[in-house]
């Protein structure tokens, strides 16, 4: 197993938005170099899904939270995320649930529009001459 595989395992347990552990050198005033790592800024957040009308708890990075705010919320973030960024099984299942609900809403709107009376058949008001 490579060292890169070890750094990625944590990403399978939350929304990390492409972030992972980075490695480099800590450099002292005497310019001594010591290996160190920078871990992602991981937060535990409660997020609201407007489509599913529920709250969810996620472990996520601050960068993923900023991206989520840019996209307009949890639902849009999950729908727009690439598959290689969205590695958390729970998030993938949640995305599929959101897609199913949105598809059901779309079908309901189309069915309602198909059975709605046309505006052309309604009696028009008499015109004044």
| Per-residue pLDDT tens over the stretch 30-83 | 999 999 999 999 999 999 999 999 999 999 999 999 999 999 999 999 999 988
For residue 47, the model assigns a pLDDT of 96
Q: Per the structure block, which two tokens stand in for 96?
A: 């599929």
Summary mean pLDDT of the chain: 86
Q: pTM, whole model, 2 decimals? A: 0.75
Distance of CA 85 to the CA centre of its chain: 10
Q: How many residues comprise the chain?
A: 129
What is the separation, in whole angstroms, between the first and last Cα of the chain?
Answer: 88
Lowest mean pLDDT among 111-115, 116-120, 124-128: 124-128
For residue 126, the model assigns a pLDDT of 58
């Amino acid at each position: 197993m490579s060292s890169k595989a070890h750094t990625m395992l944590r990403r399978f347990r939350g929304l990390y938005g492409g972030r992972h552990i980075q490695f480099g050198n800590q450099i002292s005033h005497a310019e001594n170099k010591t290996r160190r790592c920078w871990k992602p800024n991981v937060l535990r957040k409660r997020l609201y899904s407007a489509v599913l009308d529920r709250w969810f708890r996620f472990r996520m990075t601050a960068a993923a939270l900023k991206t989520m705010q840019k996209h307009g919320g949890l639902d849009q973030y999950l729908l727009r995320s690439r598959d290689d960024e969205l590695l958390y099984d729970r998030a993938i299942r949640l995305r599929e649930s959101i897609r199913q609900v949105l598809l059901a809403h779309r079908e309901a709107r189309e069915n309602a529009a198909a059975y709605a009376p046309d505006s052309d058949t309604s009696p028009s008001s008499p015109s004044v001459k």
